[in-house]
Every structure is written in C-alpha cells, then in structure tokens.
Amino acid sequence: MNEKTTPFALITGASKGIGKSIAYELAKQGYPLLLVARSETELKALSDDLQVKYGINAAFLSIDLSTTGASQKVTDWIKMNNYPVGILVNNAGYGVWGDFSQSSLTDQLGMMQLNMNVVVELSHLLLPILSKEKQAYILNISSTAAYQAVPTLAVYSATKAFVLSFTRALRFELAPTSISVTCFSPGPVDTGFAARAGLNAFSKMAEKFNMQPDEVAKMAVKAMFSKKSEVIPGFTNIISVYANRILPKAFIEKTAAGIYKI
C-alpha cells in the first residue's frame, strides 16, 4: 500500500486493549495511523513499534478525551497536519461498577462523556474529512451490555445501548454516501476492563469466557471492511444476546444483577 495515497485510520483509546490490537491489525494491512489516548509514554512506544515493524506512519496525540473540547482539539490536530482520514475507530471508553446511588456522579458523567459524547463529536467533526475519500469507514466499539439493562453497570450499559442505537441510525443516514458505519459489540475481552471498573471478583470468573484482544480486533476490522452493520463476536455472546430478545426482561436483569453482584 502506498502511504501517500492511503488514508489514515484514527483510533481512540489506542494505547491498550482492543484499540491497540486494532492498531496492529490495520498496520499489518499497510494503513498509516493516528493514535489517540491519554498516556504519551504508551503511545510513543506503540508508535515506534508499529513504524519499525510495518514501515507505516503512526502519529499520535496524547489527550484526555473526557475533557471538554478534546474532540475539537483532535480535529484541529488532524487539520493542522493535513492528515487524510478514511477510517474512524471510536474505541475509547470505560466502565464504572457499583450501585448507582453509591457511585461517584463525577465518574458516571465522565464515563458518559467518553462513551457517548466523544463518539458523537468525533463522528460529526470528521464526517467532512471522511467524505473526501472514495471509501471511508466508521467503526464504533459497543458491547454486548448494549442489548440489556445491567444492574450495577447501569450507566455503562446505557452508554453502550446509545452507541448501538446511534450507529444504526447513522448507518442508515449515510447509506447513500461513501461512508460505511459498523457497530462491533464484544463480550468479555482480556483487556483488564473488569478490574479497572472495580469488578475484581467478576474478572476472575470472566477469565473463563474472555476472548483475546488480537482475535477480537481481527474480527472487528474484517466486519468494518466487509461493511457489516452490526457484529457480535463469539458464539456464546451471540446466544446471550439472542436470549435477551426472547426471555422476559425481568429474568434477564435479575440474572445479570446476580452475576455482577459477586
């Protein structure tokens, strides 16, 4: 692939987990990258490794996307450097576990900002840039939690439901254009998410069902380039989501509450 004619892929939350694995997957395919996350140290290490291994340009911007105006700063950085962006991967996000009434409101609002608002902001701000490409893609990373209410992860599951709904609508609106929109909703992935959310007990149980981030990234990138509308990776996750559609909501929510209350 000729980097001069190949558009960049912008990946949020690129320093670890699924975002990092997606960066490697796209680099393998010759795509130059724009890596965005908070940790400058981790981003630089990733950028250096990608450039050495795959010979692609991997620029990075260290920024806390949950802060006001961050999405505009990312867009200004792109415009200032004249990066042609043909892929937007909205991956950055985190979860806050615990009873809603006992959880920090600041943490909950910060999660909503990152999980929802940034997805909307970057999509809106970058559409004019994406539309310049003959074929462009938006890949939104949601979760199987989007398909049901999850007590003790009430706000997190609601933010992922928002991402799913937003992606469906945006895909329909952009259908006549050159921009394809895909929602990818994994279940448990070995990224340390559960531990960071405070789900220490659950994280031990999740190890039995965890998918590996590299495996998930390959499936996500394939789904994006195949212009899939909505993909849930893993047979167990598919069955789980299907069960949510046919079983009583009260039963599903009680079951989820029992799992996450561990």
Distance CA(78)–CA(126), nearest Å, equals 9
168: left (phi over 0), alpha (psi -120 to 50) or beta: alpha
Active-site hit among 24, 156, 242, 260: 156
Both structure tokens of 214: 């590299």
3-class SS at 211? strand
Active site includes 156? yes
| Encoded amino acid at 145, one letter | A
DSSP readout, 133-163? SSSEEEEEE--GGGGS--TTSHHHHHHHHHH
Looking at the DSSP bridge assignments, the partners of residue 59 are 34
> What positions carry a catalytic annotation?
156
